[in-house]
Amino acid sequence: MLFAFSVAPSGGDAPDASVHDAVADAVKIVRESGLPNRTDAMFTTIEGDWDECMDVIKRATEAVGKYGTRVSLVLKADIRPGYDGELTGKLERLEKAIESEA
């Protein structure tokens, strides 16, 4: 399973409304989990089974909660039993398809 999520606080004290410290704490939890992961400018994607991914997402959300009075969590899941390595596999198939069209 792949889970893409974005978590951010609101109602915090940062004068510039920046959330990078909160996001850094969340990403640190993801990276320390040992699950395959990738972070870009908008989302962090992790791969694993339902329980282990949801545990990481929950802990990341709780960490962000320390930075404000509310937390926004956006979550998207690709649930495909019997498949793993899809964090990179999907991209490899995409690139191959693009190359074959050229």
Domain ranges of the chain: 2-101
Order of strands across the sheet that contains 37-39: 37-39, 44-47, 2-10, 70-78
Fold of 2-101: Alpha-Beta Plaits (3.30.70)
| Mean pLDDT, residues 66-71 taken together | 90
User: The whole model's pTM is what?
Assistant: 0.88
23-49, pLDDT tens digit by residue? Answer: 999 999 999 999 999 999 999 999 999
Q: Are 93 and 63 in contact (CB under 8 A)?
A: no
List, in order, residues 6 or more apart from 53 with CB less than 8 Å away: 1, 3, 35, 46, 47
Beta strands in 11-89 (DSSP E): 37-39, 44-47, 70-78
